[in-house]
């Protein structure tokens, strides 16, 4: 915590290694005023709006700061900055796609929104951001509300009473997406670092005493069993303050004629009750129930599906029955428009493409995607792997970095812990094995399990290949701590040709379900050649043919896969004549065309689906 004194106010600024434990959930269903739309901006690569020419942080007495009003007091006043209509960016939206000058920009941009606001009732107002990449410093009418780090998770700040005006509020966000070694992710990623206010911004109106968060999920069943006919809910309701004496909290599910009341015991009150016979949530029947949670002074309504999920022996059980995950990895990007995804339409497009491929599962790589994705997955019946950007070479030796990773984990889980679709929390991807890394990752796993005992925890691991034994071993020590042993393999793309899949062997010391979290090969859409030609659609097709043949011979604990990747996506690391700034491992190209390999995977998924349907009959 850093204490900053500003003109008579004392502001506590939670610097965002610390998770926002004041995060409000169920945002789409709260009373709100949108601040989306056109914002004006100033590009500030030298951070002139933040530091003076001696590189000291500017303060409230210095009108030069970009967070303060840009209107000179009179015509003689020298003011070096103004926000201008002609320099506008759409929010939500990354800046990179909105003007060619931003294509490769990484640095600071100041965003400004002027707005009028009439408060409709008494109560509190919070300023909410779905995500800002990477660091946001937020100022309203010249006062700093706080700062947040982490480019893919939500945060909110309470707006102090009387700070909001009826007209002409001056909201400024300093957005900085520079990469640093000690951040999460770190300097090096295989995706483009889109900057900006990438998700929506809203004012949230709540009563003074309000329901901040809740966890309404089926209780874990005893290992390996199916949920009871009348299953139990176990969870909690969190208020923003201590309850009034004897205050009642109510959970209602009108369709089930269920109404349960609890006496609030503390800020967090445990709830536990039995449901009548229900339709369990599953990919085949993605049933969601309207759930209303109320306190003396607040009421919030959500749509929740009820299901159980667990890794049991060598299988993954959904509602007590083994499932095979026909997945695909997805980046949060709309390639045709070369931008970050953020809207319902974007989610429809991405999850629609996954469905066309025959998927019942998606791996949302390598960071938490927009909330529209997990909400839509809930209603479409698509299982979700959700991940934090602990990717490759994070500074595993640093406690501060661990805190930053934990903060993002906390925010990811808090936002989505009522989504039936989310079955796996992933704490990272391809982290290089060392005792320091294993401790780091282990503490993230412990944290995830502390926050949520009803889902699986995993991480995408790497494979150890021994040429001598022609053996692929999944023996990362982290395997001991995860529920699902997931690994990325590129046999036939990185090292060798796809026919290597025919002779290779697989083994793992872990007696747990095995999941292939990535496999893929690059192909430029529309480039055709013989199957030995790298980057041709034919090569990628051959790769998938060989891989599918290999999957069919995988050990019995093979429970699914999420190949790499649904769409081509921007990656500044990839610059040969075929890739041209893109990773071309998509099954769809950057124009939305299906490549030949798409049909190979689809056929495999259709076969699996048919076999599992006929088993059920």
Contact positions toward ligand GCB, by CB under 6 A? 190, 366, 429-430, 488, 518, 564, 583, 585
- The total number of residues written for the chain in this structure: 617
Nearer to ligand GCB, 193 or 488 (CB): 488
Q: How far apart are CA 440 and CA 459, in angstroms?
A: 12
The alpha carbon of residue 165 and the mean position of all alpha carbons in its chain are separated, in whole angstroms, by 34
Nearer to ligand GCB, 383 or 516 (CB): 516
Q: How far apart are CA 137 and CA 154, in angstroms?
A: 14
3-state class (DSSP) for residue 467: coil
Shortest separation between residue 429's beta carbon and ligand GCB, angstroms: 5
Shortest separation between residue 441's beta carbon and ligand GCB, angstroms: 15
The answer to whether 463 touches 494, Cβ cutoff 8 Å, is no
Residue owning tokens 């959904």: 318
Between the CA of residue 206 and those of 27, 215, 240, 600, what are the distances in Å? 11, 19, 10, 51
Nearer to ligand GCB, 308 or 329 (CB): 329
Nearer to ligand GCB, 205 or 430 (CB): 430
The answer to whether 79 touches 65, Cβ cutoff 8 Å, is no
Nearer to ligand GCB, 195 or 520 (CB): 520
Shortest separation between residue 412's beta carbon and ligand GCB, angstroms: 18
Shortest separation between residue 332's beta carbon and ligand GCB, angstroms: 13
In b/e form, how buried is each residue of 213-244, taking b as 16+ CB within 10 angstroms? bbbbbbbbbeeeeebeeebebbbbbbbbeebe
**Using CA of residue 489, residue 492, residue 496, residue 501, what is the dihedral sign?**
positive
Nearer to ligand GCB, 99 or 190 (CB): 190
Nearer to ligand GCB, 387 or 546 (CB): 387
Peptide bond into 185 cis (omega under 30): yes
Let me know if 558 is exposed, middle or buried by CB neighbors in 10 A (0-12, 13-18, 19+): middle
Nearer to ligand GCB, 270 or 573 (CB): 573
Shortest separation between residue 106's beta carbon and ligand GCB, angstroms: 19
3-state class (DSSP) for residue 213: strand
Strand partners, 484: 458
List phi, psi (to 5°) of 466: -110, 115
Nearer to ligand GCB, 286 or 586 (CB): 586
Which residue in 18, 130, 95, 10 sits closest to 60, CA to CA? Answer: 10
Shortest separation between residue 569's beta carbon and ligand GCB, angstroms: 8
Nearer to ligand GCB, 40 or 429 (CB): 429
Residue owning tokens 């290694």: 17
3-state class (DSSP) for residue 484: strand
Q: How far apart are CA 516 and CA 562, in angstroms?
A: 6
Shortest separation between residue 517's beta carbon and ligand GCB, angstroms: 8
Strands 361-364 and 32-34: unpaired
Shortest separation between residue 475's beta carbon and ligand GCB, angstroms: 18
Shortest separation between residue 585's beta carbon and ligand GCB, angstroms: 5
Nearer to ligand GCB, 382 or 459 (CB): 459
Nearer to ligand GCB, 197 or 441 (CB): 441
Between the CA of residue 295 and those of 30, 236, 238, what are the distances in Å? 15, 13, 10
Q: How far apart are CA 351 and CA 303, in angstroms?
A: 19
Residue nearest ligand GCB by beta-carbon distance: 190
Shortest separation between residue 570's beta carbon and ligand GCB, angstroms: 11
Shortest separation between residue 433's beta carbon and ligand GCB, angstroms: 15
Spell out the residues 6+ positions from residue 83 whose beta carbon is closer than 8 angstroms to its own: 40, 41, 42, 70, 110, 112
Nearer to ligand GCB, 300 or 562 (CB): 562
Q: How far apart are CA 164 and CA 127, in angstroms?
A: 11
Shortest separation between residue 444's beta carbon and ligand GCB, angstroms: 17
The answer to whether 374 touches 423, Cβ cutoff 8 Å, is no
3-state helix, strand, coil split of the chain in percent (to 5) is 20, 30, 50
Shortest separation between residue 201's beta carbon and ligand GCB, angstroms: 29
The answer to whether 35 touches 128, Cβ cutoff 8 Å, is no
């Amino acid at each position: 915590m850093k204490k900053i004194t500003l003109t008579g106010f004392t502001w506590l600024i939670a610097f965002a290694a610390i998770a926002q434990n004041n995060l409000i959930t169920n945002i789409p269903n709260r009373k709100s005023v949108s601040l989306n739309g056109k914002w004006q901006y100033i590009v500030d690569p030298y951070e002139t709006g933040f530091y003076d020419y001696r590189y000291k942080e500017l303060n409230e007495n210095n009108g030069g700061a970009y967070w303060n009003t840009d209107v000179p007091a009179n015509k003689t006043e020298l003011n070096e900055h103004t926000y201008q209509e002609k320099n506008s960016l759409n929010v939500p939206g990354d800046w990179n796609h909105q003007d060619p000058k931003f294509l490769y920009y990484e640095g600071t941009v100041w965003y400004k929104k002027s707005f009028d606001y009439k408060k409709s009732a008494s109560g509190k107002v919070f300023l909410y951001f779905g995500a800002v990449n990477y660091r946001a410093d937020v100022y309203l009418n010249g006062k700093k509300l706080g700062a947040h780090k982490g480019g893919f998770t939500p945060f909110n700040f309470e707006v102090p009473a009387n700070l909001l005006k009826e007209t002409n509020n001056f909201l400024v966000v300093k957005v900085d997406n520079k990469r640093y070694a000690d951040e999460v992710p770190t300097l090096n990623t295989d995706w483009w670092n889109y900057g900006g206010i990438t998700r929506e911004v809203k004012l949230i109106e709540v009563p003074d005493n309000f329901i901040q968060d809740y966890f309404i999920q089926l209780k874990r069943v005893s290992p390996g069993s199916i949920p009871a006919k009348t299953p139990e809910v176990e969870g909690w309701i969190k208020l923003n303050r201590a309850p009034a004496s004897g205050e009642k909290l109510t959970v209602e599910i009108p369709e089930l004629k269920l109404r349960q009341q609890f006496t609030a015991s503390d800020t967090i009150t445990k709830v536990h009750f039995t449901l009548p016979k229900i339709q369990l949530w599953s990919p085949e029947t993605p049933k969601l129930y309207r759930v209303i949670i109320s306190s003396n002074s607040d009421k919030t309504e959500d749509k929740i599906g009820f299901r159980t999920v667990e890794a049991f022996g060598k299988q993954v059980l959904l509602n007590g029955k083994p499932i095979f995950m026909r997945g695909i990895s997805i980046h949060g990007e709309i390639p045709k428009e070369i931008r970050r995804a953020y809207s319902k339409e974007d989610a429809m497009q991405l999850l629609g493409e996954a469905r066309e491929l025959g998927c019942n599962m998606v791996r949302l790589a390598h960071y938490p995607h927009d909330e529209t994705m997990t909400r839509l997955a809930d209603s479409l019946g698509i299982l979700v792997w959700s991940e934090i950007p602990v990717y490759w070479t994070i500074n595993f030796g640093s406690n501060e970095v661990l805190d930053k990773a934990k903060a993002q984990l906390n925010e990811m889980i808090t936002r989505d812990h009522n989504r039936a679709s989310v079955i796996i929390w992933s704490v990272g991807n391809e982290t290089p094995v060392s005792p320091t890394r294993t401790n780091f990752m282990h503490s993230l796993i412990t944290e995830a399990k502390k926050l949520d005992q009803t889902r699986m925890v995993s991480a995408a691991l790497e494979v150890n290949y021994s040429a001598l034994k022609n053996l692929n071993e999944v023996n990362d020590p982290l395997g001991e701590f995860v529920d699902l042993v997931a690994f990325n393999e590129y046999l036939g793309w990185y090292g060798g040709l796809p026919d290597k899949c025919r002779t290779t062997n697989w083994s793992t010391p872990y007696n747990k379900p095995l999941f292939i979290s990535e496999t893929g090969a690059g192909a430029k859409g529309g480039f055709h050649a013989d199957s030995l030609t790298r980057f041709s659609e034919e090569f990628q097709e051959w790769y998938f043919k060989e891989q599918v043949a290999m999957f069919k011979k995988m050990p019995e604990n093979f429970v699914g896969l999420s190949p790499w990747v649904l769409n081509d996506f921007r990656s500044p690391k990839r610059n040969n004549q075929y890739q041209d700034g893109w990773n071309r491992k998509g099954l769809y190209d950057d124009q939305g065309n299906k490549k030949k390999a798409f049909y190979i995977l689809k056929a495999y998924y259709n076969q699996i689906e048919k076999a599992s349907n006929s088993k059920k009959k």
